[in-house]
Structure 1
Amino acid sequence: MFELLDGPPYANGEAHTGHAINKILKDFIVKSKIGLGYRVRFRPGWDCHGLPIELKIGKQKETPAPQSFKEIRSAARIVADEAIGKQMNAFRRWGVTADWDKPYTTKSSKYVAAQLDIFGQLVEQKLVYRTFKPVYWSPSSNTALAESELEYNEKHQSTSVYFRFKLINVSSPEIIWSSIPPSKPSQFYALVWTTTPWTLPLNNAICVSPNIKYSVIQFEREINNPTSTYYIIASNLVSELEKQSEQKCRILGTVKSENLIGKKYKSCWHNELALPIYEAPHVSDTVGTGLVHTSFAHGFQDYDVAVSNGERIQSFVDSRGCYTRHLGHDLDGKHVLGDGQREALSSQQWFIDVEEIGKRASSMLDEITVSAGDSDLRGSLKQLVTTRNSWCISRQRVWGTPIPGLVDENGEAYTSRELIEWVADLTRKSGNTDVWWEVDLNKILENEDVRRSLKIPKDVIPQLKKNVDIMDVWLDSGLAWHAAKENEMEREHVTDVVLEGVDQFRGWFQSLLLTSVAVKNKLPYRKIIVHGFCIDEKNNKMSKSVGNVVDPILLTDGSLKQKAIGADGLRFWVALSGSENAGESKIGPKIIEDVDRKIVSLRNGFRFMIGGCQGFNGNPINSPLKTLDQDMLHSVDSFVKKTISNYEEFKFRTVANDLTQFIQRNFSSNYVKYVRDRLYCDKIGSESHLSAQFTLHRTAYSLAHIISPLLPHLSAEVLHHLPGSHEKQILRHTFMELQSEEKYYMPELSQLMKVVHELRTVLEASAGPKIDTSKKDIIVYVKPEQEKLLKTSELELPELLNVSGVELNESRDGISVEITDSKRRYCERCRKHTRKDGDNLCSRCFDALVV
């Protein structure tokens, strides 16, 4: 049994080229594994919850009004179901094989119940907690966000400022002056640099590092002021300050970091506040000033500083992204950035502690491969999971899986495995995923086992209310290793492969890994395969505003301006551009045209094979094969064997390139060119003609089957028209059954053909482009051992070399060829100089026409 676990696409919108790369690559795996003899399980999935669908619902109404949870969730189901229907139709149109009758969706009651079962186990292990700390926040959507949900504008330039804080208890004796200490009154400032100036009124501390050398500087324009003003900055960053401020500075001395740690400075917003300078490990002198502005509620490292120093964490920015009244009348109610912005904001959220789990998971990753082609990408995933301390799993929305729990008026949360499993059972039995929102609080507390497990103080019970946060969608899909499977037997089987885009290092690959290691202490997959994103021919990202978006439907079905390349054309593009590659997959008019040319070349090759088989029943023949036919079938066997190896290693681009080269070189250049004369002119039913037909039939049959994972429609079409075959035979036989029997090959075949290929090279060089060698005789000079080989097929040499006649001679000097005019006459039927004087046709053509 081989299992491919589907990373679920989001159930919103139409299928696009990104879907095409992902789903078609997965189909290559499914079909190739079937051909390799495996039973394959691939259940397609859809990720249905989340903010985009909720926002879409709001846009659908002309005047959006507050809606109940039931209205929102009902409308969201409709949006998700519509998208699933459209996307499924597109995937099936592309020839994707899957268990379409039993897809998994993260909104189904079965999935939600299974998800809650696992969540209960996480809670029981005390890995889930609720606390007040910074998270990425969307004021416009009024919810927490995951880092993987953020979109970074590469062209965006942050507003950055240098800002000075007045030091209170730093004095001249603590400075190591370069010369005589100043005699004028002095004032010292800590100079910070920040890209979030909106947090300056919220400043709580300044952080420095004991590993940094700090300088005391003065701006030249301030030297003659009656009071000396000095700034403290990391010595390595003085020149950058001069560059950015366009002001010259003088370095007048240095100050040790230990003379700064523990000092105080004045708050820039509350004059009466003296704030501390702390030591922190994240401070560096690579950018900024080496003194870091710190706001406990609005930065992840800032939060850590607060915790390590026992500081209280307060947020004076509300969920709308506006300053609160605590900052005074001037800022009260004003937005810190503007609608649609994302910022770090402290709020009460649910988290999973993944610090220890990440380290454990990282060591386990050595057991598997994480790759794109031959690249080993395990290091990328290891780095991400080992540097992650906590995972914010709560969202302040409605369309999602609930986090069953109770909260008192002080924000204290109460949850338990018993409560969560009780909700899971209700969901499973009723088939209703709205249970948590519908169930009455009193009914929850009436269940004695649940109430006892929550350990709620009696005086708190009257204050309780249900937690209304929902789970992060990455937790939804991240539990697919359990919830997407039908039964415990399936769950015991570790998924063999997951395949997703390179962005899933930050998303699904992590969420699967962390949850599986946390609950089962084992990996959820044996192999990760990574693919890249789709861009246009000019290396630009796909954008509707730019107008470079390529619609897969237009590629497959065509339009007035776009030639249809069919589903196989789309699939061949995916094989050539999307496989074995974590970089970008380019698409555009020139690339589509090139793919179409290659498909036409393949079709022409198969058309010749099928045409040459007319009148042949496809059965094995008893007569020996001609040397040329033996060589062709030997090449087919080698191609099949190599392709099997490439399928085992998931090298689909290699298969596609090898197929193109095989048809162009091995088949067209090295076989068709030489066999046409025999196929067209030898007597139908003769041993020589049957040999050619058998070879063409076996070649078409083998190639049609071996390429079926990549080009199933072309494969079916070939087998439909090939005598003695049927399109329903696709993937009904293993690829190993395509190997020809050894009885068809003479022992010295490879050595003989090596000499033949050398002769062809010499002959082509001697003839040049103007001489038609098929109408010429040649005298061949070869070494004795080569002559011995050639004599075993001497009568076939004219065909093997595409000439009218061959005279074989021994020579000690190596291979050479002399082109001569034939002594025989030109035959009008076969167009070779093989006719005797007085005859109307050559003897071969005469025999062919005799009834």
Structure 2
Amino acid sequence: MCADTTDTPDYKDTLNLPQTEFPMRAGLPKREPGWLERWEEIGIYDRLREKAEGRKPFTLHDGPPYANGHLHIGHALNKVLKDMVVRSQQMMGHDARYIPGWDCHGLPIEWKIEEQYRAKGLDKDKVDIVDFRQECRRFAEGWIDVQRDEFKRLGITGTWEKPYLTMDFRAERIIAEEFQKFLMNGTLYQGSKPVMWSPVEKTALAEAEIEYHDHQSHTIWVPFRIVSFDLPDAEWSDEEAPDGSREAAEAAKLSTAAQFEGAKVVIWTTTPWTIPSNKAVAYNPEISYGLYEVTGRPEECWARIGDRYILADALAEDVMGRARLDETMYRRLGHVTQHQLAAMTLAHPFRDLEGANGFWDYDVPMIDGDHVTDDAGTGFVHTAPSHGAEDYECFQKRGWLDRMTHNVGEESEFLPHVPIFAGLRVFNHKGKEEKANKAVIDTLVAAGGLLARGRQTHSYPHSWRSKAPVIFRNTPQWFAAIDKPVGDGQDENGTTIRERALTSIDKVTWTPRTGRNRLYTMIEGRPDWVLSRQRAWGVPLTCFTRKGAMPTDADFLLRDENVNARILAAFEEEGADAWYKPGAKERFLGNEYDHEEWDQVFDILDVWFDSGSTHSFVLRDREDGSEDGIADLYLEGTDQHRGWFHSSLLQSCGTQGRAPYRGVLTHGFTLDEKGNKMSKSLGNTVAPDDVTKQYGADILRLWVAQSDYTADLRIGPEILKGVADSYRRLRNTMRFMLGALAHFEESDRTAPEDMPELERWVLHRLAELDERVRTGYAAYDFQGVFQALFNFATVELSAFYFDIRKDALYCDGDTARRRAARTVLDILFHRLTTWLAPVLVFTMEEVWLERFPSETSSVHLEDMPETPGSWRDDGLAAKWAEIRRVRRVVTAALEVQRTEKVIGASLEAAPRVHVDSAATRAALESVHFEDVCITSDVEITGDTAPAEAYRLPEIEGVAVVFAKAEGEKCQRCWKILPDVGTHTHPGVCGRCDAALG
């Protein structure tokens, strides 16, 4: 008989309810700046260095961003990844150092100053160069301050008060010193070869400064007339057609010079402006060629009846169609052999041009080249060695570099010595097409030198800064020879820069592995490194050349250690501006040399040489650099395989014989939610500042951690909402722990061996997770680490362990079960906060300070706790996996009853659980399975389950029959039990009566 509960007291105040001031709403945008101030006040980075003294160093070398604008989302992704690397390595026991840096020289900054000048109507070339350089320096300084604050707002830790800057005097001195090593080891040379040239910026550009956009080009088909044919008798028959084939018969017909007299070889090009610089026509011996004769023509057609053209057989129909000739208007006369092609000499299409004064009256040879294909065009390639890399290589290997032309100037204009076209430009100062192409085409038409014309849209190189198209232009530049032995050539990695680089690549750990193949292929096939730029803001090529000497002369370059030392001393004191000050040449040459015999070089170094040299004045030169001058990790976007990773490798292999990094990690680009490239014009950009103002930096950091950075990453409003939802769920997990740990003392701690199985199962999971977290962080697998921790926190803790143990935590008295649960919560707290701190830097600091509010306390000063291997218990884990499997069926069955309004809460139930397996029944009976299911009672049976019992198809051998719990509802714990009302305190069960004392 139950006691009357009408006057039952309110037992709420007797419960051990959670106590915490940790808010459910984070308010990150307003609160995060306060933690930043706190970290600065307590000097957290310096304290980490003090703590880490004697530890194994870990150095992530920061790839320097340009100091020329606000941060974009790609910057945020990059810096957050770096920060997560540094913080996780530090908390796993390393001395993890991070020195942020900036790239301060080069075209991006100089271009901004020029834009300001143009807006004011000023001419940059009339401004004193030192004054101009000072303006560039001030511009960079301003943006460094802006970007530094923006990076710090993202929670990035590092030596912000002492970053590295490529424009620091010492940095400029060391960059010059690194250049001088190329000068002294014999790899520096001046050459004249085609390079990518920006007519807008008026400078050579490196491949890393190029991006590709669609561009509409002129296309022309130009016949080159054969003017001589010199083939030894029957040479064709010895190698071309020994079997008496049809090709042999056709070739025999064409074996005499008379057959080719007046015939024409047709080329195709998308750069008509290069025709005036043509010096050869290339063919491929592997392609089948034929001689074709025009037999008819429409009214409007440049071809004439009787004209004979040599074309690749695979392309003849297309070419004739472009010339408006259908298949009834031409015929194939026969096969043309490679020996016959080699025997031909052609005339330039402008030969005998009126007003040209014989400028183009030279012979044009036929040359073989593997780069020629019959995929498009005519099967022949117009070759202008001053305007194409492959064209240049063809001439270089033949020793024909004396035939190079210098017809086009720095503004893409034909130079004064070029007849007809002098002064005409390819592109203007805004990158728009000018008159050069049209003038060449019109002149070809007038000279009878055009077979067909058209337009084609194709991918074309553009300057990434001005977004304007570039040209290939022959111009004297300074190069580092990557296939010439470096110094004495003695090095374990190889004798040349290329050999050293390729060997070094396979000694580096690549994340992801595909990065190795990408860089290896690039290094394997790249040409010599163009070091020079025709600009003003940067470190100059600190060398002198002898007047009147040729670049190939042994004494062309001045190599003197004393001169070098004077230059370096001046740069250390005054910066690179010292090179441009009056009297600089006399100062540096000193009294040892006749100043009139030497010219001072005023080109500046490619900015990629600057950033490629940073290892020398960050890793090697600073006290907080790397002990051996090598970084443990370089981390940038995938575009840096052709940028910073590439230039750093070449530079270091040229001066130190090895790579400056042990590991390289690359991440993808940021896209909008639909997978489109972000663009201000499309309005789909996501600015880091906007995200931090709306959500807080931790949400942005969590987006990074949740994403697969090895591929391109999507971000947008809906994605950020999803990230914020994940954050809230995780925050609630931490809030529960904080509340349940209120007033936890060391005296409450329970030894693992004295804990119930459920707590020991949690410890087992922590041992597994400890290995997963450490392995994941070591491999930079932030997505894997976070997913493992998030699933553990939300599924295994919040939805399972916490859900079960709420009853004991809230309602038990000072029981062994409650002490064990709180001990596990304390263990969980220390691990989850430190494991998650590298990602959620602000939130985990807030969580930590809620428990340990010392003025100098910080989670970021903690290490990840060591987790005993003895906590692992695979047998226990297997048992609890089976218990959880049965629990799934029970909770699903109860959810049906709740949905149908049969019960309001699971504590109203006392289900009967039919389990076929005797071992599983024993496991369930060995624990308080009713607590596991959060029911008031449960019955385990091996009886055959009735047909109407609830089952889950994926879980065999388990069925549940619903039944309501018998007894009265305990007014304190809300369980429905038969003994309620039979104890000292009215309306409670025996457990609660004992807790009330």
Instruction: Please give the secondary structure, in 2, of the residue aligned with 1:822.
Output: coil
Q: Deviations over 1:466-519 (max 9, x none)?
A: 111010011111112212232598462421111111111111111111122222
Instruction: Please give the secondary structure, in 1, of the residue aligned with 2:565.
Output: helix
Identity %: 30
> Which residue pairs with 2:488 in the alignment?
none
Within 5 Å, give how 1:340-489 maps onto structure 2.
Answer: 340=431, 341-355=469-483, 356-372=496-512, 375-407=513-545, 408=547, 412=551, 413-416=556-559, 418=561, 421-438=564-581, 439-448=583-592, 451=593, 462=596, 464-485=598-619, 486-487=621-622
Judge conservation of contact 1:398–1:470 (CA < 8 Å) in 2: yes
Match of 2:863 among 729, 734, 750: 734
Q: Take 1:186 and 1:222, find their aligned partners in 2: how far apart are those partners? A: 22
Q: Deviations over 1:139-178 (max 9, x none)?
A: 222211112111211x334332222111212599999649
Unaligned runs of 5+ in 1: 452-457, 558-563
Q: Take 1:746 and 1:228, find their aligned partners in 2: how far apart are those partners? A: 92
Matched, 1:778 2:922: no
Shift of 1:215: 1.6
Matched, 1:116 2:252: no
Matched, 1:687 2:777: no
> Which residue pairs with 1:530 in the alignment?
666
Match of 1:752 among 849, 869, 879: 879
Judge conservation of contact 2:804–2:931 (CA < 8 Å) in 1: yes
Shift of 1:349: 0.9
Equivalent residue letter for 1:291: F
Q: Take 2:366 and 2:297, find their aligned partners in 1: how far apart are those partners? A: 26
Equivalent residue letter for 1:309: R
Shift of 1:81: 0.7
Shift of 1:186: 6.8
530-539 vs 355-364, which moves further: 355-364
Matched, 1:268 2:349: yes
Equivalent residue letter for 1:361: A
Equivalent residue letter for 1:64: L
Equivalent residue letter for 1:842: V
Instruction: Please give the secondary structure, in 1, of the residue aligned with 2:789.
Output: helix
Matched, 1:279 2:368: yes
Shift of 1:736: 4.3
Judge conservation of contact 2:230–2:343 (CA < 8 Å) in 1: no
Judge conservation of contact 2:699–2:724 (CA < 8 Å) in 1: yes
Judge conservation of contact 1:178–1:252 (CA < 8 Å) in 2: no
Judge conservation of contact 1:143–1:397 (CA < 8 Å) in 2: yes
Check 1:549–1:220 CA distance in 2 against 1; reply closer, same or farther (3 A cut): farther
Within 5 Å, give how 1:98-109 maps onto structure 2.
Answer: 98-109=158-169
Q: Take 2:158 and 2:935, find their aligned partners in 1: how far apart are those partners? A: 53
> Which residue pairs with 1:561 in the alignment?
none
Q: Deviations over 1:95-117 (max 9, x none)?
A: 11112232111111111111222
Within 5 Å, give how 1:290-689 maps onto structure 2.
Answer: 290-311=379-400, 312=402, 313-328=404-419, 330-339=420-429, 340=431, 341-355=469-483, 356-372=496-512, 375-407=513-545, 408=547, 412=551, 413-416=556-559, 418=561, 421-438=564-581, 439-448=583-592, 451=593, 462=596, 464-485=598-619, 486-487=621-622, 490=626, 492-557=628-693, 564-577=694-707, 579=709, 581=710, 583-617=711-745, 621-622=749-750, 624-683=754-813, 685-689=814-818
Match of 2:291 among 216, 227, 232: 216
Instruction: Please give the secondary structure, in 2, of the residue aligned with 1:377.
Output: helix
Q: Deviations over 1:405-462 (max 9, x none)?
A: 22436775523252663244323541432111124323333242xx4xxxxxx7xx63
Judge conservation of contact 2:61–2:98 (CA < 8 Å) in 1: yes
Q: Take 2:686 and 2:396, find their aligned partners in 1: how far apart are those partners? A: 50
Match of 2:128 among 59, 68, 75: 68
Instruction: Please give the secondary structure, in 2, of the residue aligned with 1:598.
Output: helix
398-407 vs 415-424, which moves further: 415-424
> Which residue pairs with 1:151 in the alignment?
211
189-198 vs 783-792, which moves further: 783-792
Check 1:576–1:162 CA distance in 2 against 1; reply closer, same or farther (3 A cut): farther
Q: Take 2:811 and 2:614, find their aligned partners in 1: how far apart are those partners? A: 62
Count of residue correspondences? 824
Match of 1:49 among 74, 80, 105: 105
Equivalent residue letter for 1:712: V
Matched, 1:229 2:307: yes
Equivalent residue letter for 1:702: R
Shift of 1:179: 11
Shift of 1:288: 2.2
Instruction: Please give the secondary structure, in 1, of the residue aligned with 2:707.
Output: helix
Matched, 1:163 2:163: no
713-722 vs 330-339, which moves further: 330-339
Equivalent residue letter for 2:589: L
Equivalent residue letter for 2:737: M
Instruction: Please give the secondary structure, in 2, of the residue aligned with 1:113.
Output: helix
Q: Take 2:212 and 2:662, find their aligned partners in 1: how far apart are those partners? A: 31
Shift of 1:845: 6.2
Equivalent residue letter for 1:761: R
Judge conservation of contact 1:536–1:588 (CA < 8 Å) in 2: yes
Judge conservation of contact 2:413–2:423 (CA < 8 Å) in 1: yes
Check 1:115–1:746 CA distance in 2 against 1; reply closer, same or farther (3 A cut): closer
Instruction: Please give the secondary structure, in 2, of the residue aligned with 1:168.
Output: strand
Per chain length, whose mean CA-contact separation is higher, i.e. which structure has more relative contact order (CA < 8 Å, sep 6+)? Answer: 2
Instruction: Please give the secondary structure, in 1, of the residue aligned with 2:677.
Output: coil
Matched, 1:831 2:889: no
Shift of 1:849: 6.5
> Which residue pairs with 2:151 in the alignment?
91
Judge conservation of contact 2:297–2:325 (CA < 8 Å) in 1: no
> Which residue pairs with 2:7 in the alignment?
none
Shift of 1:682: 2.6
Shift of 1:647: 0.5
Q: Take 2:548 and 2:627, find their aligned partners in 1: how far apart are those partners? A: 41
Q: Take 1:447 and 1:667, find their aligned partners in 2: how far apart are those partners? A: 79
Shift of 1:676: 2.3
Q: Deviations over 1:794-851 (max 9, x none)?
A: xx22211211113344569955444323232223432321253654423246426636
Instruction: Please give the secondary structure, in 1, of the residue aligned with 2:742.
Output: coil
> Which residue pairs with 1:560 in the alignment?
none
Equivalent residue letter for 1:422: A
Equivalent residue letter for 2:972: R
After superposition, the CA RMSD in angstroms is 3.0
Equivalent residue letter for 2:176: L
Shift of 1:594: 1.1
Instruction: Please give the secondary structure, in 2, of the residue aligned with 1:82.
Output: helix
Q: TM-score, normalised by structure 2?
A: 0.78
Shift of 1:48: 0.7
Q: Deviations over 1:255-294 (max 9, x none)?
A: 0121111421111224232221122232222332221101
